[in-house]
Amino acid sequence: MKDMTIVLGITGGIAAYKAAMLASLLTKRGAKVITVMTKGATAFITPLTLQSLTHQPVYTDIFDERDPSRITHIDLADSADLVVVAPATADFIARAAQGMADDLLTAVLLATTAPVVLAPAMNVHMYAHPIFLQNLERLRDVGYYVAEPGVGPLACGYTGKGRLMEPDEIVEFMDMVLTPKRMSGKRVLITAGPTRERIDPVRYLSNDSTGTMGYALAQMAWRMGASVTLVSGPVAIKPPLGVDVVNVESAAEMREIVLARASEQDAIIMAAAVADYRPGTVSERKLKKDDGTRSIELVKTPDILMDLREAKGRHTFVTGFAAETHDAEFYAKKKLLEKGADMLVLNNVLEPGAGFGPGTNKVTVFFADDTSVDVEKQPKLDVAKELLAMISERLQGQKDLANDQSVDSV
């Protein structure tokens, strides 16, 4: 969003105070945020608050023409890379759905050709009212994006659907709207995080994976238009917006979910650091210490990536990861071959700025056709974007090939 112009519309609901946080987040991301407030909005929050946070002018009146050579609502509409209205009240949505232009914000909405995001917020019964829902549907039909409200306690005292989407999630939603939909219509399953293999009710074997790379892949795949399932081991990361998260603990649980859903996926990305061994027996009671040493017998866990060779769909594109500390390229190529993946992402976990943990990654990607690509050190979300671009290119290649073959057979 850096250097983009975002027109932030604020309408008159109690959630208007949260628009200040949204303005601040967008400004910190480097966007030029120009605020347009309805008269109702100014009853809840002042224009000065928005001006102070964005360092940009704030508009409240359609007849406030500051520059005689320009027409404000057309100027604002043309300059916008995206228009976001947060909160959008039922009244505003009704007026917008009628194509009215009776204040500056509705006029900007009619005049803009930029994408529009509406983040409704209101009382639970207002949100469920058929007339409101028809109005919202009408706006969806013309291509407006709706950042759906959450369920929770509302300012009116009710609990239910109607809470404004959290400002950080609205920013993520806007990122999704602005991302080209290279994976539209694709189903992608991603595994992430470590697995835990129980020793007893209070102890387990695990590893240092934080899940960041897998979560970044899920977030980016959703932004690119895919329908995403994230099968996650235990991690301390917020579930990404728009992603179906299935939480698991052990390698066996992860395997069950992945294999059950494998055949319907266009792509599967095995970013999880699956434990290779588990204790042979799990004690139902906490093990008590005694004198002397103790050993735990370890048995191998099933290799999920290996098992995907049978379980995946005919055209599912499978990506594995390899976490290595030495002879990295040798082991990566070996895993690619032995596990039958189409693509393998090599992490040298000892390299600075690569491997486990939040922050950056630096990887080399190997393909089954013996080619490879280096992806330079950058934030994991950007690495995810590059990896998904490679996957979508190959999915497109498969589609083109299938089309050619069907033409041949005609």
Residues annotated catalytic, as ranges: 156
CB of 384 to ligand CTP, least distance (A): 15
Tell the residue number behind the tokens 């469920």, with chain if given.
128
Give the Cα separation of 101 and 135 in Å (integer).
16
Decide: is 187 part of the binding site for ligand CTP (CB under 6 A): no
Q: In terms of Cα–Cα distance, which of 2, 7, 10, 61 is closest to 33?
A: 7
Q: Which of 32, 312, 335, 362 binds ligand CTP (CB under 6 A)?
A: 335
CB of 195 to ligand CTP, least distance (A): 8
Which region, judged by CB under 6 A, interacts with ligand CTP, from 227-235, 266-274, 290-298, 310-318?
Answer: 266-274
Q: What are the helix and strand counts (H, E) for the chain?
A: 14, 20
Decide: is 322 part of the binding site for ligand CTP (CB under 6 A): yes
Decide: is 328 part of the binding site for ligand CTP (CB under 6 A): no
Could you tell me which residues are beta bridge partners of residue 372?
A: 366
Considering the complex, state which of residue 170 and residue 274 has its C-beta at the smaller distance from ligand CTP: 274
CB of 233 to ligand CTP, least distance (A): 10
CB of 377 to ligand CTP, least distance (A): 20
Give me the helix-helix angle, 380-409 and 212-223, nearest 10°.
50
Which region, judged by CB under 6 A, interacts with ligand CTP, from 32-40, 78-86, 285-293, 303-311?
Answer: 303-311
Q: What is the DSSP string of 5-52?
A: EEEEEE-SSTTHHHHHHHHHHHHHTT-EEEEEE-TTHHHHS-HHHHHH
Q: Which of 86, 274, 343, 387 binds ligand CTP (CB under 6 A)?
A: 274
Handedness of CA 91, 97, 98, 104 (dihedral sign): positive
Q: What is the DSSP string of 228-239?
A: EEEEE-S-SSPP
Q: Is 308 in contact with 259 (CB distance < 8 Å)? A: yes
Considering the complex, state which of residue 92 and residue 321 has its C-beta at the smaller distance from ligand CTP: 321
CB of 277 to ligand CTP, least distance (A): 9
Give the Cα separation of 352 and 241 in Å (integer).
30
Decide: is 270 part of the binding site for ligand CTP (CB under 6 A): yes
Q: Which of 321, 342, 365, 391 binds ligand CTP (CB under 6 A)?
A: 321
Q: Which of 75, 78, 303, 386 binds ligand CTP (CB under 6 A)?
A: 303
Q: For 224-286, where are the alpha helices, taking DSSP H only?
A: 251-262
Considering the complex, state which of residue 13 and residue 320 has its C-beta at the smaller distance from ligand CTP: 320
CB of 319 to ligand CTP, least distance (A): 8
Contacts of 273 (CB under 8 A, 6+ apart): 193, 194, 195, 207, 208, 209, 233, 321, 323, 356
Decide: is 235 part of the binding site for ligand CTP (CB under 6 A): no
Q: Which of 183, 221, 304, 388 binds ligand CTP (CB under 6 A)?
A: 304
Considering the complex, state which of residue 301 and residue 392 has its C-beta at the smaller distance from ligand CTP: 301
Number of residues that bind ligand CTP (CB under 6 A): 15
Which region, judged by CB under 6 A, interacts with ligand CTP, from 20-28, 284-292, 297-305, 310-318?
Answer: 297-305
Decide: is 272 part of the binding site for ligand CTP (CB under 6 A): yes
Q: Which of 251, 267, 336, 363 binds ligand CTP (CB under 6 A)?
A: 251
Q: What tokens appear for 93 in the block?
A: 């949505």
Q: Is 206 in contact with 275 (CB distance < 8 Å)? A: yes
| H or E segment and range at residue 145 | strand 145-146
Considering the complex, state which of residue 173 and residue 356 has its C-beta at the smaller distance from ligand CTP: 356
Give the Cα separation of 316 and 279 in Å (integer).
33
Decide: is 167 part of the binding site for ligand CTP (CB under 6 A): no
Decide: is 301 part of the binding site for ligand CTP (CB under 6 A): yes
Contacts of 321 (CB under 8 A, 6+ apart): 213, 270, 271, 273, 344, 345, 346, 347
Considering the complex, state which of residue 120 and residue 194 has its C-beta at the smaller distance from ligand CTP: 194
Considering the complex, state which of residue 104 and residue 273 has its C-beta at the smaller distance from ligand CTP: 273
Q: What tokens appear for 30 in the block?
A: 């480097």
Applying CB under 6 A, the residues found at the interface with ligand CTP are 251, 270, 272-274, 276, 301, 303-305, 320-323, 335
